[in-house]
């Protein structure tokens, strides 16, 4: 089988699994339904991922990587508070774009150690970005000296997850208000 074909099958499986786990979580997700949705043989899932948990873990890794990748440092022409708002907005938007998996993995009771383990590296990347911005802001007088960048990074992620848990029509208004609250709390 050519490499391109293998990647297509793997991608189709991951897409089908995202739908399945997004609707049913890890415990309720069924490999048979994933195989049917992807149009592949059930054994191919085990070939690529080893187990249902391995497939789920791969999805969590992709989701957390996408959230971390969304937290690029904005260009230097912006002020530090603007940069912090943009990073927070990127986190909110990325969490919302992956709401199905985020909800089932972090809010829906999948094995906590698996979720925490997979989220650790992207959280470290988010923390590094926020640490850089907070340090810059403290040096320029935009951010209070007593602000802990690790706490700010976790607060941004926790607030994004909280908004996701409270989803509904006012989600955009809630997003903007939450970002405003987090960034204002950093200023003098």
CATH code of residue 16: 1.10.10.60
Q: pLDDT digit string (tens) for 135-173?
A: 889 999 999 999 888 888 888 888 887 777 776 544 667
Residue 25's CB is within 10 A of a number of other CB atoms, namely 17
Mean pLDDT of 98-125: 62
Ranking 9-13, 78-82, 113-117, 183-187 by mean pLDDT, the lowest is 113-117
Answer yes or no: do 31 and 110 share one domain. Answer: no
Whole-prediction pTM: 0.71
Answer yes or no: do 83 and 19 share one domain. Answer: no
Domain presence at residue 98: yes
Answer yes or no: do 95 and 173 share one domain. Answer: yes
Q: How many domains does the chain have?
A: 2
Distance (Å, rounded) from C-alpha 90 to C-alpha 81? 14
Q: pLDDT digit string (tens) for 50-96?
A: 999 899 888 888 877 777 777 777 777 888 888 888 888 888 888 77
Answer yes or no: do 66 and 32 share one domain. Answer: no
SS (H, E, C) 51-117: CHHHHHHHHHHHHHHHHHHCCCCCCCCCCHHHHHHHHHHHHHHHHHHCHHHHHHHHHCCCCHHHHHH
Answer yes or no: do 123 and 32 share one domain. Answer: no
Domain presence at residue 56: no
Cβ 137 vs Cβ 81: under 8 Å: yes
Domain presence at residue 55: no
Q: Which two tokens stand for residue 29?
A: 């997700």
Q: Which two tokens stand for residue 130?
A: 């926020």
Please say if the pLDDT value at position 7 is more than 60: no
Distance (Å, rounded) from C-alpha 173 to C-alpha 188? 25
Residue-number span of the structural domain to which 17 is assigned: 3-50
Answer yes or no: do 117 and 80 share one domain. Answer: yes
Tokens 């907070």 map to which residue?
Answer: 134
Answer yes or no: do 110 and 41 share one domain. Answer: no
Answer yes or no: do 32 and 65 share one domain. Answer: no
């Amino acid at each position: 089988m050519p490499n391109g074909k293998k990647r297509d099958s793997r991608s189709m499986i991951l897409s089908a699994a995202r739908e399945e786990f997004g609707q049913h979580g890890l415990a309720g997700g069924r490999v048979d339904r994933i195989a049917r949705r992807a149009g592949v043989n059930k054994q191919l899932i085990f070939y690529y991922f080893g187990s249902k948990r391995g497939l789920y873990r791969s999805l969590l890794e992709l989701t957390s990587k996408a959230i971390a990748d969304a937290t690029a440092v904005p260009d230097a022409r912006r002020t530090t508070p603007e940069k912090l708002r943009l990073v927070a907005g990127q986190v909110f938007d990325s969490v919302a774009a992956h709401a199905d998996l985020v909800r089932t993995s972090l809010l829906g009771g999948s094995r906590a150690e698996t979720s925490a383990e997979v989220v650790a590296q992207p959280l470290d990347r988010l923390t590094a970005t926020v640490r850089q911005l907070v340090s810059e802001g403290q040096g320029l007088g935009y951010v209070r000296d007593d602000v802990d960048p690790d706490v700010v990074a976790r607060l941004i992620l926790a607030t994004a997850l909280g908004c996701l848990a409270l989803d509904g029509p006012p989600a955009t208004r809630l997003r903007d208000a939450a970002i405003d609250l987090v960034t204002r709390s950093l200023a003098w």
